[in-house]
Amino acid sequence: MDKRGTLLIENVIFIILNLLFLTVLVLFLMKSGSGAIVLEQTYSKQIAVLVDSAKPGMLMKIDMEKGKELAEDNGIDFKDVIKIDENIVTVKLSDRGGYSYSFFNDVDIGQPYPDEDDNGVYVFIVDAKGDKK
């Protein structure tokens, strides 16, 4: 009789652990599929590709309207969304670390800033190496 009772308890514990695992997995997929992670990766890679194709003296603008809405929903100031350090672009739309991607072009990028019209556009100015203002 002891074996039947042990078998039932083991099965119940197994089912509960599986349900817990599946719940955590579904929550993670929902968050990453429609949240900041995807937009952070997209924006940082787009910016890196733009910078790689840029020439000194260029002024570039990138539309980040969806990113602005998401950053404001997460309590991040839109001025702090993009940081460029050396050749690494970091986009941060949530409280978590953000996403970094590097570019190869040998230029200096002035610190990007939001457009004055407050329309979700970021502005980048490309300078020749050593001409940073």
**5 and 69 both lie in a single domain:** no
Instruction: Give 87's DSSP letter.
Output: T
**61 and 108 both lie in a single domain:** yes
Instruction: Round to whole Å and give the CA distance between 50 and 89.
Output: 11
Q: Is 49 helix (H, G, I), strand (E, B) or coil?
A: helix
**76 and 12 both lie in a single domain:** no
Q: Say which residue the tokens 């610190």 belong to.
A: 111
pLDDT at 132: 53
Residues linked to residue 108 through DSSP beta bridges, in sequence order: 127
Residue 19 belongs to domain spanning:
1-34
**41 and 106 both lie in a single domain:** yes
The answer to whether residue 52 is domain-embedded is yes
Residue-by-residue pLDDT tens, the chain, 133 positions? 556 667 788 899 999 999 999 999 998 887 666 578 888 999 999 999 999 999 999 999 999 999 999 888 888 899 999 999 988 999 999 887 789 999 998 888 888 999 888 788 999 999 887 665 5
Question: pTM score, two decimals?
Answer: 0.72
* Count of the separate structural domains present in the chain: 2
